[in-house]
Amino acid sequence: MFYTPGFSEKKSLLNKEESHHCINVMRFSKSSIVYVTNGRGDLYKAEIEEPDPSGCRLKIIEKQSGFGKRDYNLTIGICPTKNPGRFEFFIEKSTEIGIDNIIPLICSSSERKKINPERIERIITSAMKQSLKAYRPILEKVQDLKEALKDDFEGQKFIASESVDPEMNLGSLCKPGENVFVLIGAEGGFSEREMEQAAGSGFIPVSLGDYRLRTETAGIVACHTVHLVNNLER
């Protein structure tokens, strides 16, 4: 699967990077059939017309709109981990499982306040292609918790906390078919004051289970919990 933002019936040209990958690396040639997405839900089946490694022109054979569309939208606000590899692992896994918006969050216990957006965008693209998705998760800019709380999100809002009774878990409280926003803190968790601020903005404190999880594990577990809630017959 290839990805080119803005790819459409009117502009059926792979971008430079993907043209190189398609022609020089994967060795596709004229008349080969390939799949392309624009990351906005459109999946194209197309034939290579001009195998130019710096701008490969395609002829569209078939278009599927809303490919793999879910009936919920998932936003996760999560603190980057001290070890960047762990945060990147969350990015890759949540993209594979299914997520729409990722907000790198800064809270009082944050040990890392910066990310490498280019590197993370590359991981998102690679995981999207690997897991054959036509919707590309959006990486938002790094935000303070306060800023994230002001987000005019419509749907269910949760904040993960270790001090919540395990019975009040995300899996039991999350309703299927509705948008979900989950906040996940750094290793030290959110402070009491932060929990109060979040509650004031309508975020419900939830447990992610009766175990202590690393930040990136909490993110993956939250993402998969919302997925399962929406896919289990209950």
Q: Which residues of the chain form contacts with a copy of itself (CB under 8 A)?
A: 68, 89, 93, 96-98, 130-133, 166, 169, 171-172, 209-214, 217, 220-221, 224-225, 227-228, 231-234
DSSP label at 34?
E
Could you tell me what percentage of the chain is helix, strand and coil, using 3-state DSSP and rounding each to the nearest 5?
30, 25, 45
Nearer to a copy of itself, 135 or 153 (CB): 135
Identify which of residues 19 and 207 has a Cβ nearer to a copy of itself in the complex.
Answer: 207
CB of 219 to a copy of itself, least distance (A): 11
The burial class, CB within 10 Å (0-12 / 13-18 / 19+), for 27 is exposed
- Residue 216 Cβ, how far from a copy of itself at the closest point, in Å? 9
Cβ at position 118, least distance to a copy of itself in Å: 22
Nearer of residues 57 and 214 to a copy of itself, judged by Cβ: 214
> Would you say 74 or 220 has its CB closer to a copy of itself?
220
- Least distance from C-beta 92 to a copy of itself, angstroms? 8
How many Å apart are CA 7 and CA 174, to the nearest integer? 35
Q: What number of other Cβ atoms are within 10 A of residue 148's Cβ?
A: 22
- The residue among 23 and 222 lying less far from a copy of itself, judged by its C-beta, is 222
Q: In what order do the strands lie in the sheet with 2-3?
A: 2-3, 33-37, 43-50, 57-64
Structure tokens at 197: 């601020």
Minimum Å gap between C-beta 188 and a copy of itself is 14
